[in-house]
Copies of this chain bind each other. A is one copy, B any other.
Amino acid sequence: MSVNVLIYEDNESLRNSLVTLLSREKGFHIVGDYPECTNLENHLLHLNPDVILMDIDLPEINGIDGVKKIRSITTTIHVLMLTVFDDTSSVYDALYAGANGYLLKKYISTRLVTSIKDVLEGGSPMSPAIARLIIDSIKQKGPKKTALDYNLTSREIDVLVSLAKGNSYKMVANDLTISLDTVRTHIKHVYDKLHVQSQGEAISKALREGLIS
């Protein structure tokens, strides 16, 4: 049994290359190749693809929206994005839209086949440059500070967490089974340590810096 591949790529010579490349490979069957994905629903219904190769920069409906449409219909078909862009926002948009992998076009000749196999196994193959983008943007958010960075005690964290849930002092007291005044004391200490002077600032600082989540 072979893998059904559906191709959307507006660059005709590249599209032909893809077809040639996969035709030579046994185990792959190309069920369709189109320069645009306006007829997506029909294709999905009648061509029965296992994997879709989707160019990101498509006329009419772009690849991102194409993926969204696919995902609104089915989550089982694997989608591998093909792109010349390696900018962060395209990558993120595609990932959120539900793409399974992200291959830079310059790597197509050497990695297309293995990448398709990877997505079929549930992996998310991506060019190293793409992976780098993702990693950088994750790291940018920063290694989460621990409560230790502000010398918050465990009880102080408890109070902060309870507060962030939207509890009033009274509710926090009830939540942690301590008195209202104790809650106040803890919060005072938290404010001192975080150098803030209001609940709003404390909570947003705690959330943004990963002290609580």
Point out residues on A near B: beta carbons under 8 Å: 95-96, 101, 115, 118-119, 121-129, 131-132, 134-135, 138-139, 143, 163-168, 196-201, 203-205, 207-208
Asked if residues A196 and B166 are in contact (CB atoms below 8 Å), the reply is: yes
Asked if residues B122 and A166 are in contact (CB atoms below 8 Å), the reply is: no
Copies of this polypeptide in the complex: 2
Asked if residues A128 and B139 are in contact (CB atoms below 8 Å), the reply is: no
**What is the predominant secondary structure among interface residues of chain A facing chain B?**
helix
* Contact with A131, one of B123, B197, B199 (Cβ below 8 angstroms): B123
Asked if residues B134 and A134 are in contact (CB atoms below 8 Å), the reply is: yes
Name the residue of chain B whose CB is nearest to the CB of A142. B96
Nearest-Cβ distance from residue A122 to partner chain B, whole angstroms: 7
Asked if residues A123 and B118 are in contact (CB atoms below 8 Å), the reply is: no
Cα distance A200–B119 when bound, in Å? 43
Name the residue of chain B whose CB is nearest to the CB of A127. B123
Known: A128-B121, A131-B123, A132-B122. A95 touches B139 (CB 8 A): yes
Asked if residues B201 and A165 are in contact (CB atoms below 8 Å), the reply is: yes
What 17 new A-B contacts, CB under 8 Å, besides A123-B131, A165-B204, A204-B204? A95-B135, A96-B139, A96-B143, A101-B128, A121-B129, A123-B128, A134-B135, A138-B138, A165-B201, A166-B197, A166-B200, A166-B205, A199-B200, A200-B203, A203-B203, A203-B207, A207-B208
Asked if residues A204 and B203 are in contact (CB atoms below 8 Å), the reply is: yes
